[in-house]
Amino acid sequence: MQNFKFIDGSVTSPLGFTANGVCAGVKPSNTTKRDLAMIYCEKPCNAAAVFTKNLVKSSTILVSKKHLENGVAQAVIVNSGNANACNADGIEIAEKMCEIAAETLGVNADDVIVASTGVIGQPLPIEPIIKGAAALKGNLTKDGGTNAAEAIMTTDTVKKEWAVQMTLGGKTVTVGGIAKGSGMIHINMGTTLSFVTTDAAISSEMLSEALHEAVEVSYNMVSVDGDMSTNDTLAIMASGLAGNEMITEKNEDYKTFVEGITAAFKEVAKKLARDGEGATKLLVCKVNGAKTYGDAVVISKSVICSSLVKAAMFGADANCGRILCAVGYSGAEVDTDKIDVAYKSSKGEILVCKSGLGLAFDEDKAKEILLESEIEILITLGDGDGCAEAYGCDLTYDYVKINGDYRT
Amino acid sequence: MQNFKFIDGSVTSPLGFTANGVCAGVKPSNTTKRDLAMIYCEKPCNAAAVFTKNLVKSSTILVSKKHLENGVAQAVIVNSGNANACNADGIEIAEKMCEIAAETLGVNADDVIVASTGVIGQPLPIEPIIKGAAALKGNLTKDGGTNAAEAIMTTDTVKKEWAVQMTLGGKTVTVGGIAKGSGMIHINMGTTLSFVTTDAAISSEMLSEALHEAVEVSYNMVSVDGDMSTNDTLAIMASGLAGNEMITEKNEDYKTFVEGITAAFKEVAKKLARDGEGATKLLVCKVNGAKTYGDAVVISKSVICSSLVKAAMFGADANCGRILCAVGYSGAEVDTDKIDVAYKSSKGEILVCKSGLGLAFDEDKAKEILLESEIEILITLGDGDGCAEAYGCDLTYDYVKINGDYRT
C-alpha cells in the first residue's frame, strides 16, 4: 500500500511558501514570456540540493553551493533565457541576483538559492533581473507557483508542477515542486532545473539523503538527448510548518517521505521525457532478469539513449534488432541467447524477440501498439533478478529543427 | 615525408585479386540494386580481421572468426539487405554462404570470409545467394571492385573504394579496399563492413598487429549515431605477390605499411562520417593540449557524439556552449578555465571561446564558415600535450527520416 497521494498543486502547496514569475525581459526575442521567478518561505528552511556532474558549470551552481553549505535557505531566484555559464562576470551576476532577491524579499542573501537556464556563453545582463524583481516585490502568492513554473521554461511546451501529500506521525505533510526540461537532458541529474518545497520538519542532512535516494531512480534515469547540462540544479527546502516530529534519522517517517518524493520525482522524469525537445512519445524501458541491479540500469539506459531506437519509435517501427544491438553494446554482462523483447502500450503487448532471436510477428498489431504516445519497451533477461526502468523519448524532425538553430 | 601515395583504385588493385558484385535479390524492395559481392585471390592469403565488440553478433562473425583461426583466407562473400543477426538458422546460413563461395571460386570453404549487413532479426533466405553466386561465377574481374563496393552499400549514398601504394624494399606494394557505412556507426570499430586487400608479403600475425594499430586512430574514432553495429567486420588479405621480403616483425617495412594503411583508413573514416545517414557535413574534432592522449580521445569523441553539437552544425550555428558542455561531461580531467574553441573550414577560422569564456564574435563570418560541408572543431586545452582527432557528421531531418522507417 502506498503511503502518499498526488494532489493538484505546485511549489506553493506546502505551508509557508509563496512564489511568482514575471516577464523580466531576459529572453530577448519574445518579451511576453515569463523568464524570472522567485520562491519564498516565511521562515528559514532546512535545505539541500544536487547539481550537475558536468565539469563546465554555470556560475549559479558555485554560488548556490556556497549558500547551501550551512544547510539553510529561505528563497530561490531563477531566470530562463540565459544559462549564466562560461561568462567572465558569471559569479558576480549570480551573487548580484541573490542580493536582489534578498532585498526584494527581506531575507539574507546567503539564504538565497540562484539558478539560470538558457543559452551558454553569453553575458547575462542584470537590468532585466532588477526590473523583474521590482515587479515581483509584494506579489509572491500561494497561487503564484504556476507562474513560477512557466517562468523557468525554455523549449518546454508544457509547464511541470506537482504536489504530493503523506501522513507523518499523524500530521499531513505536503511536498510540491516545479521543474523544466527539455533539451540537454541526460542521465545523472538529467533535469536542468527543479525546485521542491515541503512543510515537513526534516534536517538538512536527512533532506540531502532523501534527495539522493529519490534522484537515483528518477532524474538519474531520464535522457532526452544524451547531453548533460551545465546547469542542472535540484533544490529542496523544508519549512517544518506541518508540525511533524523532526526527522533526523532514517526512521519510518523518513522512509515514507522518501517513498512520496520518489514517486513524485519519477512522474517528473516521465514529464521531462514526454516533453523532451521535439518528442511525440514517452518511452519507458523496463529491464527484468539482469545479472545485477547495475546491469539492469546500464541496459535500460543504453536502450533509451540509442538514436536508432528513438528514431524507430518515432516511426512506430517494431524493429527488434536495434534493441538487441543496444543491449549488446551496453557494457552489461548478458547471455545473448536469453533476451526477450516486447513492446507494450494501451493498445496491447507484442513479443518481437524470444531467446535472442527475432520473431515473425503481426506487423499491423505492432504498428497499432507503437502509434500510441506512451510506449513500454520490455526486456527480459535470464541472468538474475536485477531490474530497473529508464525514461526517454523518440527522436524526431522537430528535435533537429529546435536544435539546428536554437540561438537565433 | 610520407612514404605512400593514394592512387585511383579499389579492392582489386593489388596483384592477384579480382571481385564483382551483382543484384541477387536479397534486398526485397528494390531488385535492381547490387547486394551480393565476392572478392577472390588467385592464391591463399595471410589474413586478419577485427570485429564488433557488441555482445550481440551476426552469425557471420562467428563463422568468419573460425575460418580465420589459421590466419589464411582466399575469398570473401558478402551480402547487403540482411544482417543475418539474431536468426535461429544464422550459423547454418553463414556456413552455407561460405560453401557456395567455395564452390563458385574453387577454394576451400574454410578459407572464405563471410559478412552480411542490413536488417537484424529477419531470416536470410539462401536462394538469392545461390542465384547471385551463379551470376558471379566466371565473372570476377580486375575492374569488378567497383561493383563489389556498390553491392555492400545499405543506406550509403556513395560507394567507398580506395587504393594506396608504397615501396617496401624496392618493390611497389599496393593496398586497396572497399567499405560501407552509413548508420549504426560508432567508435570501436565503427565501420560495419570493410574489406582490404594487398599484394604485400606479410605474416598474418603482423597483418593483425598492423590492423589494430591503424584502426585505433581511424575506424575507432568515427561516429555517426552512437550505435555500435552487430556486424562490424574489417578483414584484410595479403597475397604476397608484390615480391617484397616477407614482413614477420616490426621493422621499417612494417612501419611503412602501417603508415600507408593508417592514412587510407583515416580517409575511409572521413568518408563514412561524410556519408553518415542523412549527413550534410563532415565534422572533424581536433583536440590539442589535453592532459594525456587518452583524455584527448575521450574529449574528441564526446564532442563528435553530442546530438546538440551535431544539430547545431546542421544549422550552421556557432554555438560554443554545447562544445564546452560536451567537453565538461566527457569524463576527461580538464581545467575548464583553459578551454579555447574555434571553428574552421575552407572559408576561414573563428575563435568562439577563449579560456573557458564565450566570446562576442562576428556571427556573419561564423555562419559563412559553418555553411561549408567540412567543418573542423578545434579545441585547445592547457593541460598537457595529448592530442587526438575524431570524425563525425551533423544530425539532420534526413537521419530521422531514414531511421524512422527503415524496414518498410
- Chain segment B85-125, per-residue pLDDT in tens: 999 999 999 999 999 999 999 999 999 999 999 888 889 99
Residues A47 and A126 in one domain: yes
Q: Which of A116, A117, A308, A310 has the highest number of chain B CBs within 10 A, making it the mutation to test binding with B? A: A308
Last residue within a domain, chosen from B255, B274, B293: B274
Cis peptide before A182 (omega within 30 of 0): yes
pLDDT exceeds cutoff 70 at B376: yes
Q: Which residues of A are catalytic?
A: 191
So what's the pLDDT on residue B226?
75
pLDDT (average), residues A104-125: 94
Domain CATH number, residue A168: 3.60.70.12
pLDDT exceeds cutoff 50 at B230: yes
So what's the pLDDT on residue B405?
67
CB contact under 8 A, A317 and B404: yes
Closest in A87, A311, A321 to B404, CB measured: A311
pLDDT exceeds cutoff 70 at A365: yes
pLDDT (average), residues B131-144: 97
CA–CA gap between residue A343 and residue A351 (Å, rounded): 7
Residues A25 and A159 in one domain: yes
pLDDT (average), residues A200-220: 94
More confident residue, B261 or A27: B261
pLDDT (average), residues B262-267: 93
Tell me the residue range of the domain where B135 lies: 4-274
Mean pLDDT score of chain B: 92
pLDDT exceeds cutoff 50 at B408: no
Residues A247 and A344 in one domain: no
Please tell me the least confidently modeled range out of A343-357, B176-190, B304-318, B327-341.
B176-190
Residue in B117, B191, B262, B380 annotated catalytic: B191
Q: Which of residues 138-177 of A touch B (CB under 8 A)?
A: none
Any residues with CB less than 8 A from the CB of A256 and at least 6 apart, and which?
A3, A4, A166, A167, A168
| Residues of chain B neighbouring A120 (CB-CB closer than 8 A) | 319-322, 324-325, 358
Residues A77 and A197 in one domain: yes
Of B197, B172, B196, B195, nearest in space to B256 by CA: B172
CA–CA gap between residue A132 and residue A80 (Å, rounded): 12
Total number of domains constituting chain A: 2
Q: Which of residues 324-343 of B touch A (CB under 8 A)?
A: 324-329, 334, 336, 339
Last residue within a domain, chosen from A252, A274, A296: A274
Q: Which of residues 285-304 of B touch A (CB under 8 A)?
A: none
Domain CATH number, residue A338: 3.10.20.340
So what's the pLDDT on residue B400?
87
pLDDT exceeds cutoff 60 at A170: yes
Q: Which of residues 235-294 of A touch B (CB under 8 A)?
A: none
What phi-psi label fits residue A227: left (phi over 0), alpha (psi between -120 and 50 degrees) or beta? beta
More confident residue, A228 or A236: A236
- DSSP bridge pairs for A346: none
Complex-level ipTM: 0.83
Last residue within a domain, chosen from B205, B239, B274: B274
CA B24 to chain centre: 24
pLDDT exceeds cutoff 90 at B404: no
Mean pLDDT score of chain A: 92
So what's the pLDDT on residue B221?
86
So what's the pLDDT on residue A334?
94
Nearest CA to CA, how far is A35 from chain B (Å)? Answer: 20
CB contact under 8 A, A55 and B334: yes
Residues A72 and A155 in one domain: yes
Residues B30 and B137 in one domain: yes
Residues A91 and A180 in one domain: yes
Residues B132 and B247 in one domain: yes
Other beta carbons less than 10 A from residue A209's beta carbon: 18
pLDDT exceeds cutoff 60 at B189: no
More confident residue, B250 or B329: B250
So what's the pLDDT on residue A2?
78
Residues B146 and B23 in one domain: yes
CB contact under 8 A, A306 and B226: yes
pLDDT exceeds cutoff 50 at A408: no
Residues B141 and B202 in one domain: yes
Closest in B122, B305, B321 to A358, CB measured: B122
Residue A231, SS3 per DSSP = coil
So what's the pLDDT on residue A192?
72
For B353, the closest chain A residue by CA position comes to A121
Residues B188 and B236 in one domain: yes
Nearest CA to CA, how far is B238 from chain A (Å)? Answer: 31
pLDDT exceeds cutoff 60 at B160: yes
Of B133, B105, B142, B114, nearest in space to B26 by CA: B133
Residues B287 and B395 in one domain: yes
Band of pLDDT at residue B154, cut at 50, 70 and 90: confident
Residue B191, SS3 per DSSP = coil
Q: What is the pTM of this model?
A: 0.85
So what's the pLDDT on residue B141?
98
pLDDT exceeds cutoff 80 at B184: no
Closest in B88, B228, B405 to A315, CB measured: B405
Closest in A229, A320, A328 to B325, CB measured: A229
Nearest CA to CA, how far is B54 from chain A (Å)? Answer: 5
CA B106 to chain centre: 29
**Structure letter (DSSP) for residue B222:** B
So what's the pLDDT on residue B406?
52
